[in-house]
Structure 1
Amino acid sequence: MLEQLTQLVQQYGGDAIVKNEAIPNELNQDVMQQAGSSIFTGLQKIASEGNMDQLAGLFQGNNATSGSNPVVQQLSEQLTGDLGQKFGLSTEAASGVAGSLIPNVLGSLINKAKDPNQKGFDIADIVSAISGGNGNSGLMDAISKYGGQFGLDQNNDGKVDMSDAMAAVTKKGGIGGIFGKLFGR
């Protein structure tokens, strides 16, 4: 997942980093690597704090590019702090990089994850990487909360629970089928 984030940072880092006069050219590559790392660790932190609702919400609709999204805000704050601390960038310069880069990277990550033709951006792999492989328990809560909206109530009892998950796994091709259904694939 870090590799995919790094690719997206490289893709969107031109204006935010390379063409940014506040960042010396010799630091461009290091700043891009730090940005990818900060986004990844920030997502892991959100998951480890149990904020799976926020992460599940990130994968719904087109709010990954919104500065008002709590995940975007938290990741922007983290990247701003990391760039200031590691590279001595002013808060204004670091905030400008984060504000430009994070919505673009997250928006692209989510769009690629929702596209079954995009290799290397599988939702199940992303969730597993973010949660350190322990995403199922917290993710089950998010699935229960949002699952009815996505047709995951397999037995039509009005709630999404483990029996629905087991039915979905057997019908839809494993846990990837559940993630795919939840996140619109």
Structure 2
Amino acid sequence: MLENLFNLIKENSTDSVINNPVISNEENDAVVADATHSVADGLQGVLAGGGLQSVLSLFNNNNNSEGNGLLSNPIVSNIISSFTNKLTDNHGIASDQAAGIASSLIPSVLSSLVNRTNDANNSNFNIDSIISSLTGGGNS
């Protein structure tokens, strides 16, 4: 699941990471990896705290059609905050720039993840394998 998530983030990171002059080309993969871990760790933390319904509601198409509803979701806010901290701590990016990058990339990625998970024709992403891999049940 992490590899699929990494690739999904890389697909969505063209403007916010790859073409961003604040992030050197040498750091692109490391930044994408930090975003991947921020998303996975954020979802895993919610699940570990008994928040299965919260995670499942995140994947409800009705709330996420444009990705705008994601910004008001506390799970998404925590992931954005975590990624912002990684950008400042690991890559020396100023906090306001890091917050802008995270606020742009994370909702876009989660919206794509939701759409692909809800797409019956996409076997790379399904909610069962996502939950299973995040709770230690497998690496699908």
Same fold (TM over 0.5): yes
- TM-superposed deviation, 1:18: 1.2
**Residue equivalent to 2:99:** 95
SS in 1 for 2:61: coil
**Residue equivalent to 2:45:** 45
Contact 2:61 2:115 in 1 (8 A): no
Deviations 1:43-76 (CA, angstroms, capped at 9, x unpaired): 1111112222221210113434221111111110
Aligned partners of 2:25 and 2:137: how far apart in 1? Answer: 37
Identity level (%): 37
Q: What TM-score do you get using the length of structure 1 for normalisation? A: 0.68
Contact 1:54 1:70 in 2 (8 A): no
Aligned partners of 1:88 and 1:111: how far apart in 2? Answer: 32
Q: After the TM superposition, which of the residue ranges 34-43 and 6-15 deviates more from structure 2?
A: 34-43
1:50-69 to structure 2, matched below 5 A, reads 50-64=50-64, 65=67, 66-69=70-73
**Aligned with residue 104 of structure 1, among 102, 108, 113:** 108
**Residue equivalent to 1:168:** none
**Residue equivalent to 2:2:** 2
Instruction: Structure 2 unaligned segments of length 5 or more: list them.
Output: none
Number of aligned residue pairs: 134
Higher relative contact order (CA 8 A, sep 6+): 2
SS in 1 for 2:55: helix
SS in 2 for 1:120: coil
Instruction: Structure 1 unaligned segments of length 5 or more: list them.
Output: 135-185
Aligned partners of 1:60 and 1:23: how far apart in 2? Answer: 33
**Aligned with residue 87 of structure 2, among 70, 83, 97:** 83
- TM-superposed deviation, 1:121: 0.7
Counterpart of 1:34 in structure 2: which amino acid? D
**Residue equivalent to 1:28:** 28
Aligned partners of 1:29 and 1:14: how far apart in 2? Answer: 12
Q: After the TM superposition, which of the residue ranges 76-85 and 63-72 deviates more from structure 2?
A: 63-72
**Residue equivalent to 2:14:** 14
SS in 2 for 1:118: coil
Counterpart of 1:126 in structure 2: which amino acid? I
Contact 1:63 1:69 in 2 (8 A): no
- TM-superposed deviation, 1:131: 2.2
Aligned partners of 1:69 and 1:10: how far apart in 2? Answer: 23
Q: What TM-score do you get using the length of structure 2 for normalisation? A: 0.88
**Residue equivalent to 2:125:** 121
Counterpart of 1:6 in structure 2: which amino acid? F
Contact 1:77 1:95 in 2 (8 A): yes
**Residue equivalent to 1:170:** none
Counterpart of 2:123 in structure 1: which amino acid? K
